[in-house]
Structure formats: structure tokens, C-alpha cells
Structure 1
Amino acid sequence: MTSSRRRLLSFPAIALLLAAAGCSSADDAAQVAVPKPSADEVPYCEALAKALPQTVAGLRRSDVEPKSELTAGWGDNAAIVLRCGVPRPEKMDDPDALGVEADGVKWMLEQLNSGPRFTTTYRKVYIEVALPEKYDHDVTPLSDFAAAVAKTVPLTVKA
């Protein structure tokens, strides 16, 4: 009797868990690690958050979790992700690191399995943009960020 009672009590719990799991979908907000910038860097990230575009590469702004002024996403399941206040990448010490410029903003390129990742250079705070694999040879989305970055995050060196 005890064993059948346990089965009856656990069945509703399992059914409830399965129902809850069925409620999640691909449209749920993407999980993005929130950077931990210094207190001096936070105001730049807050200003950038207010200036970011609603569309990037034709993709509409989408939620990322946890919600933060330090992160933003665009496209289904945040195909494009921006993080402000990231640590300086070690790759920046590599004299052979690849760099690109998009509308006056300089970025360092890191090629990852998931797609390219770009980090601003010569700015008061490091901003990282991760793009999906389809942008392996296309930096066009970076142009959509250029005005907001140039307006809100000053250069550390004179151009």
C-alpha cells in the first residue's frame, strides 16, 4: 500500500513538471552572462543601453535574461548579443589579432565555433558583440552599433 501511495503522489508531481516544461518555447529569452564592469564603467554602459538601436541587421530587439542594462539581444533567441563592460580580452595582447573598423568604431575579432565575436578597442569600456555563424565574413551588423558606441563611450586615445 505504501508503494502505490508513493506512485500516486509522485504521478501528479511528474505531470506538473512535464506540463511546465511544455510551456517553454524557443521564443523564451536567451540566457546571457552579465558582465561586472567597474563603477567607473557603469555610466558608459547605462548611456549605451539607452542609445542602442531597435534593429540590427534587420533583426528586432529581443529580450535576454537576466534583464540588465549591460546586455541586449536582437533576433530570435537573441541571435546577436551585446554585452557592455566585459573584461579586456587576452587576445588583445596578440600582435597578430585581427581588427576591423565599422563606421569609425574599431573592433577586435575573435573567431569562435558559434560565430564571430567582436570587442571594441580604444574605448573607455569594452563592448562585446557576438554574431551567429552566418556572419563569419560579414561585419555589416557592427555598423548598426557604431553611432550608439561613438556617442556614449569615449575614446581612450586620440584618433
Structure 2
Amino acid sequence: MARELRVPSFLTALPAPVRWLALPLALSCTVVVLLGSWGAPAAIEVPKPTGRAAGYCRDLAAALPQEVLGHARKDPSPGSPYVAAWASSPRTVLRCGVDRPEALNGEHAKDLSPTIDDVTWWAQKLDDGGYRFITTMRRAYVEVTVPGGAFSNPLDPVSALNGVVKANIP
């Protein structure tokens, strides 16, 4: 005995061509939304250090680990010796040779600045819930951006990278 397929009542009020296109249209819209949300990450501004700072940053780039706290290194393309990223979702980004933050000249100069094994990191909370950490008192400024939710403690990746920064950026 064949079972009769019942069409929901709200669809029966629509003309047949519209009913036939409703499911493919809904599936197409879903695919477009999913692909849009999986798009390429935002572009990362590549610093342009000069002189000794550029040399320190190249040394740091050569010494950076391939993994940070279980997250594999996945640098943005095209590659630069001044930018590294680890594939946490969203990703953690290190930029070497950034300019000295203007905020260090003003009222935020005395904000939270944790010191880890003789490296001081100026911390800045971002609008998206993440943090930006920038070294102070070093020959080249190193910035580590940790997106909100990527780690249970936003200082964890900074702590993991601290030793290599200390060894390569005097």
C-alpha cells in the first residue's frame, strides 16, 4: 500500500512553480551563507621594520615554533618574515616590527602590562573580546593578537611565545 505524500498547507496556497522552486532556493541560500562564513580571514597588515629591527624580526621568524598550544602554524599568504599565524579558530597572529602604539604615549601607558621572564607585554582589550599584546622595552616591537575565545586564558599563547621573543629581540 502506497503512502500518500502530504504537502504542508502553507505551500498549497502557492502556485506550482513557486512550490517546485522553494526547496532548491532554500538549499542554495543555505550554501551561500555557509560559504560566506567560511571565507578567507581578514587581511593582515604586514609591518615594514627597517635597520636592526628588521634583522631581529627575521631572526625571530626563523626561530618561531611550528605549533603553539596544539595549534599548527599557518602563515598568511603571501609569506612575510614579519608575520606568523597559528591556526586556532580564529587564528592567533604575531607581527614583528610594528610601530610603537600611540596609546603608550597617553593615559593607557599604565594599563595592565604583565612581565613574563623579563619580557613586558602591554595588553589591550579589543572590541571583539580578544586581546592585543605588544612588547615594550625591546629593540623591535612584537605584537601578538589573541582573538576572544581562542584560548581559555588569552595570555597562554603569549607565554608560549615569550621565550623565543626574549631570545631573539634584545
Per the shorter chain, which TM-score range?
A: 0.7 to 0.9
Matching of residues 17-36 of structure 1 within 5 Å: 26=38, 31-36=43-48
Q: Which runs of 5+ in 1 are unaligned?
A: 1-22, 155-159
Q: What pairs with 1:6-45 in structure 2 (closer than 5 Å)?
A: 26=38, 31-45=43-57
Asked if structure 1 preserves the Cα contact closer than 8 Å seen for 2:73 and 2:85, the reply is yes
1:30–1:65 contact (8 Å) kept in structure 2: no
Query: Aligned with 2:52: secondary structure?
Result: coil
What SS does the corresponding residue of 2:158 show, helix, strand or coil?
helix
Counterpart amino acid of residue 123 in structure 1 = R
In 2, are the aligned partners of 1:30 and 1:63 still within 8 Å (CA)? Answer: no
More strand by share: 1
Secondary structure of the residue that 1:73 maps to in structure 2? strand
Are positions 1:103 and 2:112 aligned together?
no
SS at match of 2:123: strand
The offset of 1:75, in angstroms, is 1.1
Confirm or deny that 1:131 pairs with 2:146.
yes
Shift of 1:39: 2.2
1:60 matches 2:76 = no
Report the Cα distance in structure 1 between the residues aligned to 2:140 and 2:40, rounded to whole angstroms: 29
Deviation at 1:102, TM superposition (A): 2.6
Matched length: 132
TM-score (structure 1 length as normaliser): 0.73
State the one-letter code of the partner of 1:68. S
Percent of residue pairs identical? 38
> Contact 1:63/1:78 (CA < 8 Å) preserved in 2?
no
Alpha-carbon distance change, 136 to 58 in structure 1, aligned in 2, over 3 angstroms: closer
**What is the aligned partner in structure 2 of residue 6 from structure 1?**
none
Structure 1 residue 76: Cα displacement: 4.6
Q: Which has the larger radius of gyration?
A: 2
Structure 2: tracts of 5 or more residues without a match: 1-34
Structure 1 residue 123, shift from structure 2 partner:
0.5
CA distance in 1, matches of 2:76, 2:89: 8
Q: CA deviation at 1:77?
A: 6.2
Pick from 67, 72, 85 the counterpart of residue 73 of structure 1: 85
Runs of 4+ in 1 over 3 A off after TM superposition: 23-30, 135-138
Aligned to 1:157: none
C-alpha distance 100-139 of structure 1, shift in aligned 2 (>3 A):
same
TM-score by length of 2: 0.68
Alignment RMSD, CA only? 2.4
